[in-house]
Amino acid sequence: MSQTLSTDRTTNPGRRAVARLATEVLAPWVWVLGLPLVVAWEVTGHHLGETLLWGLITGVTGSLIPMAVIVHGARQGKWDSHHVTDRAGRVIPFAACISSLAGGIVLLVIGNAPHEMVSLAGAEMACLFASVAITFALKFKISMHAVVAAGATVMLVFVYGPLLLLLIPLVAWVCWSRVELDDHTTAQVISGAVLGAVLGGAVYLVLDAALR
């Protein structure tokens, strides 16, 4: 059965093109770069300067710096691609994400950023640590695409309200794409989505309440 599905995907370039599109445009680095800017716009009262300051601190340290490390490593052949689909190859990318985001959190705290921004970065860090534990301790290649997409959607709902539940189809699309491209199993994307939504959402709410 699995061989049949794999063959169908290989011989259906249209499906794979749609899946590849979702994997690229809804990649973790895209969510992690855009989410802080969207959240900052709301929590700063639509102040452009503060939005760019706090949003870019969180987005650059959580997304662009780690992505630069990952792309550089991929070009040198250290891992299979900028998506690092090989579980064993995720040590350095995870380390880059955690260390860079930690620096961003320090800057947010020192700069007296809105508590929502600190809560957002803290939720991202919690999901990273949980993903590291699952990936290496449990030897289970949880989908970071799913973790980040689901977590980002939940946090946007908290900030902007239930209308942002309209993003759920995008989460489903990117989860489907990871399975369609044979980069993850259904269990890996479902567990990733649950982790991002439940842990990311819970940590955000707890930190947000504590920092008010």
Question: Per-residue pLDDT tens for 70-82?
Answer: 888 878 887 767 7
| Domain total in the chain | 1
Whole-number Cα distances in Å, 66 to 52, 97, 124 = 19, 5, 13
Question: Which domain covers residue 53, as residue numbers?
Answer: 2-211
Range 24-27 contact pairs with CB under 8 angstroms and sequence separation of 24 or more:
26/145, 26/149, 26/170, 26/173, 26/174, 26/177, 27/83, 27/145
pTM of this structure: 0.90
Instruction: Give tens-digit pLDDT for 39-59.
Output: 999 999 999 999 999 999 999
